Amino acid sequence: MTEISSIKSSFESIIKKIKSNNDLDQLQIKYLGRKGLVNNLLQSIDRLTQDERKDFGIKINELKTLIKHLIKVKRQELLKIENASDYIDITLPGKKYPKGSLHLVTYGVEEITKIFSRIGFIRMSYPEVEWEHYSFEALNMPKGHPARDDFETFFIDEPAHPKYGKMVLTPHTSSGQIREMQRLGKPPIRMINIGKCYRPNWDTSHTPMFHQFEGMAVDMGINITHLKGTINYFAKEFFGENRKIRLRPFHFQFTEPSFEVDITCGVCNGTGLLRNPEGSEAQKCRLCKSGWLELGGSGMIHPNVLKSGNIDSKKYSGWAFGFGIERVMMMKEGLKLDDLRIMYNNDIRFLEQF
């Protein structure tokens, strides 16, 4: 019996040190082989009394089972080391792959679409490559008119159409006004046209491609209060309940009267000042300086524009506005970018913040 336990303990201590399959094979032969230690021990059974034999047999079988088991475990262990590169430790925490998000402007497009759909405005998209006619003439800006200079334009190098002029990359979404009037044929019209715009500028506050959203309502009896009410609704939904807007007289060729729309700044709450925490002198707000931020242009649609859209300007009236999406998104985030171009640089450090 003591021999059984000494074989057991010697086997256990040797197998711990085994590092190769070859050594393990040798060890297996030494212990379990035909002339191995276990079999040798079994032969000594002859020397035992009848009573002792039964117990001895059981113990030897237990030893054999244990040795077999330990060899099997060791083989698996060696296999794992051999295939270390394929080995998967399922207890390790999983790899985290970076999760993408939408671009700031895409969030803007989605939210603006929803806000206006709640009050019955239909989202439209119109051509990005457009005729000069729709971008200018039909909007009361004939050739040579100085207002056209404000909309510096990319021209497509193709022969001009006899009626519609040259092809351009849309410099503003206002061309969608005419397209929508012509599509529907007659009012009522409630449209929100969201699209890309192009102008050949590349500096800290301009990218050659940017986005605008153009609202338009045409019906009988439409007046400035509807324009103001709608922009007010948008401002509160998009920026927050406390924001206020104001209309400032301006000039656009396609609206009369025309306004620029301002909204109270969200960083300083429309005061233009930021108080220092220590109670020292207040400083000018870093975002707006005056308490107001400029949203964009708007006005009552000029009768000539209604005419271009085949709408009877004696019977119907309408309003329109056009705002920049990059601009409203920056205002919403309270962001003042030193360089607007970062929006389109694909710099993950900027993009992942939204």
Q: Which stretch binds ligand DAH (CB under 6 A): 42-50, 70-78, 184-192, 319-327?
A: 319-327
Nearer to ligand DAH, 108 or 299 (CB): 299
Whether the Cβ atoms of residue 181 and residue 310 lie closer than 8 Å to each other: yes
Three-state DSSP class for residue 251: strand
| Burial tier of 303 (Cβ tally within 10 Å: 0-12, 13-18, 19+) | middle
Closest distance between ligand DAH and the C-beta of residue 154, in Å?
A: 14
Residues in the chain: 354
From CA 279, how far away is CA 274, in angstroms rounded?
11
Nearer to ligand DAH, 108 or 322 (CB): 322
Nearer to ligand DAH, 268 or 330 (CB): 330
Nearer to ligand DAH, 298 or 317 (CB): 298
Nearer to ligand DAH, 176 or 272 (CB): 176
Asked if 214 touches ligand DAH (CB under 6 A), the answer is yes
Q: Please tell me what DSSP assigns to residue 33.
A: S
Q: Considering only residues 134, 218, 321, 326, which one is a binding residue for ligand DAH as defined by CB under 6 A?
A: 321
Chain positions 238 to 267 lying near ligand DAH, rule: CB under 6 A, are 252, 255
Q: Are strands 129-131 and 283-284 parallel, antiparallel or unpaired?
A: unpaired
Q: Considering only residues 108, 187, 270, 322, which one is a binding residue for ligand DAH as defined by CB under 6 A?
A: 322
Whether the Cβ atoms of residue 244 and residue 263 lie closer than 8 Å to each other: yes
Query: Is 180 marked as a binding-site residue?
Result: no
Closest distance between ligand DAH and the C-beta of residue 299, in Å?
A: 4
Q: What are the backbone angles phi and psi of residue 173, rounded to the nearest 5°?
A: -80, 0
Closest distance between ligand DAH and the C-beta of residue 320, in Å?
A: 3
Strand partners, 246: 262
Chain positions 34 to 73 lying near ligand DAH, rule: CB under 6 A, are none
Nearer to ligand DAH, 150 or 352 (CB): 150
Asked if 299 touches ligand DAH (CB under 6 A), the answer is yes
Nearer to ligand DAH, 7 or 218 (CB): 218
Asked if 309 touches ligand DAH (CB under 6 A), the answer is no
Residues 6+ apart with CB under 8 A from 78: 18, 19, 20, 21, 24
Q: Considering only residues 298, 308, 309, 325, which one is a binding residue for ligand DAH as defined by CB under 6 A?
A: 298
* Tokens encoding 38: 């276990």
Nearer to ligand DAH, 187 or 299 (CB): 299
Whether the Cβ atoms of residue 254 and residue 305 lie closer than 8 Å to each other: yes
| Rg, Å, the chain Cα set | 40
Whether the Cβ atoms of residue 161 and residue 131 lie closer than 8 Å to each other: yes
Closest distance between ligand DAH and the C-beta of residue 201, in Å?
A: 13
Chain positions 6 to 35 lying near ligand DAH, rule: CB under 6 A, are none
The amino acid present at 291, given as its one-letter code, is: G
Chain positions 104 to 123 lying near ligand DAH, rule: CB under 6 A, are none
* Tokens encoding 32: 């379990």
Asked if 193 touches ligand DAH (CB under 6 A), the answer is no
Chain centre to alpha carbon of residue 139: 35
Chain positions 155 to 174 lying near ligand DAH, rule: CB under 6 A, are 172, 174
For 192-225, b/e burial (b = at least 16 CB within 10 A) is: bbbbebbbeeeeeeebeebbbbbbbbbeeebeee
Q: Show binding-site residues.
A: 256
Q: Show binding-site residues for Mg(2+).
A: 256
Q: Which residues bind ligand DAH (CB under 6 A)?
A: 172, 174, 214, 252, 255, 296-299, 320-322
